[in-house]
């Protein structure tokens, strides 16, 4: 099973953590969509990007709970696709360490992570890495109407749609 994942975080430093996770199956089914109780303060810069407020995070489940959900999904997934997996993978590993979840950390490390971005860049004929929304727009991919860019579920859904578009055989 292929899944598409995106995260939002408290920032990008070595003590920052995941505060939102979105995971979608290749067929489009939402597998995980949740905020995560912060293990670090949300930086102003991160909040400007994703717009997630402290008030929204007040009742979010702890990472330990979300880690159980991730473990179940990763246990079934053959591949985890993201649009630029280095950041999401690093932040999930970092959060698993901060939350003392060694089994989750191991599952993340051992998983097969794939990147939609280089293929989209190649298909579009660009020489520099293309951004997710730009790739979607240029490929004629339907942009999700619910949510907004830089929110985990929205970006996971959009990455899946871009992946589906570039995998579709050329009509002729």
- What pLDDT, on a 0 to 100 scale, did the predictor assign at position 167? 87
- What pLDDT, on a 0 to 100 scale, did the predictor assign at position 172? 41
DSSP label at residue 53: -
Q: Tokens standing for 152?
A: 């985990």
- What pLDDT, on a 0 to 100 scale, did the predictor assign at position 84? 87
At a CB cut-off of 8 Å and minimum separation 6, what does 47 contact?
53
What is the per-residue pLDDT across 84-102, written as a single tens digit (0 to 9) for each?
Answer: 879 999 999 999 999 999 9
Cα separation of the two ends of the chain: 29
30 strand-pairing partners: 24
The structure's pTM equals: 0.93
- What pLDDT, on a 0 to 100 scale, did the predictor assign at position 16? 96
At a CB cut-off of 8 Å and minimum separation 6, what does 65 contact?
none
- What pLDDT, on a 0 to 100 scale, did the predictor assign at position 32? 98
pLDDT by position in tens, the chain (length 172):
999 999 999 999 999 999 999 999 999 999 999 999 999 999 999 999 999 988 999 999 999 999 999 999 999 999 999 998 799 999 999 999 999 999 999 999 999 999 999 999 999 999 999 999 999 999 999 888 777 888 999 999 999 999 999 986 554 4
Give me the CATH code for the 2-167 domain, please: 3.30.420.10
81 strand-pairing partners: 4, 114
Q: What's the rounded Cα separation, in Å, for the pair 93 and 91?
A: 5
């Amino acid at each position: 099973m292929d899944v598409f994942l995106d995260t939002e975080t408290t920032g990008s430093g070595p003590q920052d953590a995941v505060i939102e996770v979105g995971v979608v199956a290749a067929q489009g089914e939402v597998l995980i969509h949740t905020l995560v109780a912060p293990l670090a303060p949300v930086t102003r810069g991160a909040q400007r990007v994703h717009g997630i407020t402290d008030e929204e995070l007040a009742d979010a489940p702890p990472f330990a709970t979300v880690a159980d959900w991730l473990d179940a999904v990763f246990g079934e997934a053959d591949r985890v696709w993201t649009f630029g997996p280095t950041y999401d993978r690093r932040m999930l590993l970092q959060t698993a360490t901060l939350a003392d979840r060694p089994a989750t950390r191991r599952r993340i490390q051992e998983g097969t992570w794939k990147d939609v971005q280089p293929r989209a860049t190649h298909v579009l004929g660009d020489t520099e890495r293309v951004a997710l929304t730009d790739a979607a727009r240029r490929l004629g991919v339907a942009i999700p109407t619910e949510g907004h860019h830089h929110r985990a579920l929205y970006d996971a859904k959009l990455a899946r749609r871009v992946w589906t578009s570039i995998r579709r055989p050329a009509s002729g």
